[in-house]
């Protein structure tokens, strides 16, 4: 196994750590869990840059589709009432400006990355402390940041797909497997499925490994603490999206929360 090179004094950005998180996760997270410094800047910067590029590419494709008269309808569009369908079309026409296509999605994405990191880090530290872990808040925040690098890879894969296919992603995650219907519970499940993909599962595995190393908890307790924290985040995000969907009677696109 190749030796991994780590931080030097006064080095704020640790881009050389990134490959090790993917290829040597145990060794990388072991080093991260022993650092007393705030070393979360690099992964959050990478994730932020990639989600912004994702927004730019997606917005450009949506503009092209709007100019050509092409409209992408939600999978359950046929179950909506005529009034809801008309409202959806009217809303699309009124939200084609750069503020709605680029600015607001970019702000939402960045808020999702940074606020999501803060909430998940706090929840993770709380849950592992209640389970008897001996980790600190600073270490938890570092682990959450570095353990979330699969989300950067997800954004990169989506960018490559959109550029290659020249179309935006309308059904992310497992939304293609969600039950179709107009009842509240089915809409809620559909929104939840949009948040679940292989990259979230990858993130969970990295967080479990990092928490087990940093807190000394067993694999079972580490898994329970991480899954509980991530589940709270996913349910909170789904609840907010569901509330917005009910208020507007429109299908809400996926934000980039952890």
In a domain, 15, yes or no: no
Who's near 133: CB < 8 A, 6+ residues apart?
A: 211, 214, 215, 216, 217, 221, 222, 225
Mean pLDDT of 113-128: 92
Orientation of helix 198-215 relative to helix 149-165, angle to 10°: 160
DSSP SS3 for 212: helix
In a domain, 17, yes or no: no
pLDDT in tens, 232-245: 988 888 887 777 66
DSSP SS3 for 98: helix
Whether 26 shows a pLDDT value over 90: the answer reads yes
Q: What is the total count of domains within the chain?
A: 1
CA 117/CA 139 separation, integer angstroms: 13
In a domain, 6, yes or no: no
In a domain, 258, yes or no: no
> What is the number of H-type helices and E-type strands within the chain?
11, 0
Strand segments, DSSP code E, in the chain are none
In a domain, 3, yes or no: no
Whether 64 shows a pLDDT value over 50: the answer reads yes
Which of 158 and 4 is assigned the larger pLDDT? Answer: 158
SS3 of 151-187: the string is: HHHHHHHHHHHHHHHCCCCCCCCCHHHCCCCCCHHHH
pLDDT in tens, 155-170: 999 999 999 998 888 7
CA 113/CA 76 separation, integer angstroms: 28
In a domain, 4, yes or no: no
Q: Which two tokens stand for residue 44?
A: 């959050």
Q: Is 221 left (phi over 0), alpha (psi -120 to 50) or beta?
A: alpha
**CA angle, residues 213, 214, 216, in degrees to nearest 5:** 70
- How much is the pLDDT for 98? 79
- Under the banding of pLDDT at 50, 70 and 90, the label for residue 178 is low
Q: Is 178 left (phi over 0), alpha (psi -120 to 50) or beta?
A: beta
Report the predicted TM-score, pTM, of the whole model to 2 decimal places. Answer: 0.81
CA 239/CA 191 separation, integer angstroms: 9
CA 123/CA 114 separation, integer angstroms: 14
CA 193/CA 38 separation, integer angstroms: 33
C-alpha 244 chain-centroid distance: 19
Q: Which two tokens stand for residue 80?
A: 């909506």
CA 256/CA 150 separation, integer angstroms: 13
Residue with tokens 């590419």: 57
Contact present, 112 and 255 (Cβ < 8 Å): yes
In a domain, 20, yes or no: no
Which of 69 and 100 is assigned the larger pLDDT? Answer: 100
- How much is the pLDDT for 254? 44
In a domain, 1, yes or no: no
Q: Which domain holds residue 58?
A: 39-248
């Amino acid at each position: 196994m190749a030796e991994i090179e780590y931080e030097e004094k006064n080095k704020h950005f640790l881009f050389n750590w990134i490959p090790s998180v993917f290829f040597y996760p145990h060794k990388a997270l072991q080093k991260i869990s022993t650092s007393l410094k705030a070393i979360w800047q690099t992964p959050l910067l990478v994730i932020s840059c990639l989600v912004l590029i994702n927004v730019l590419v997606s917005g450009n494709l949506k503009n092209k589709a709007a100019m050509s008269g092409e409209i992408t309808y939600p999978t359950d569009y046929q179950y909506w009432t005529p009034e809801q369908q008309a409202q959806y079309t009217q809303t699309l026409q009124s939200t084609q400006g750069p503020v709605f296509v680029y600015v607001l999605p970019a702000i939402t994405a960045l808020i999702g990355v940074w606020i999501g990191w803060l909430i998940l880090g706090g929840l993770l530290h709380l849950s592992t402390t209640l389970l008897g872990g001996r980790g600190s808040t600073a270490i938890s925040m570092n682990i959450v940041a570095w353990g979330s690098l699969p989300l950067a890879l997800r954004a990169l894969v989506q960018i490559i797909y959109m550029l290659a296919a020249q179309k935006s992603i309308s059904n992310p995650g497992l939304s293609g497997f969600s039950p179709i219907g107009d009842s509240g519970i089915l809409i809620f499940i559909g929104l939840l499925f949009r948040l679940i993909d292989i990259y979230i599962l990858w993130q969970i595995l990295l967080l479990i490994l990092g928490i087990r190393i940093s807190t000394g908890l067993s694999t079972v307790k580490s898994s329970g603490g991480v899954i509980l924290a991530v589940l709270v985040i996913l349910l909170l995000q789904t609840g907010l999206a569901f509330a917005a969907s009910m208020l507007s009677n429109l299908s809400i696109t996926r934000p980039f929360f952890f």
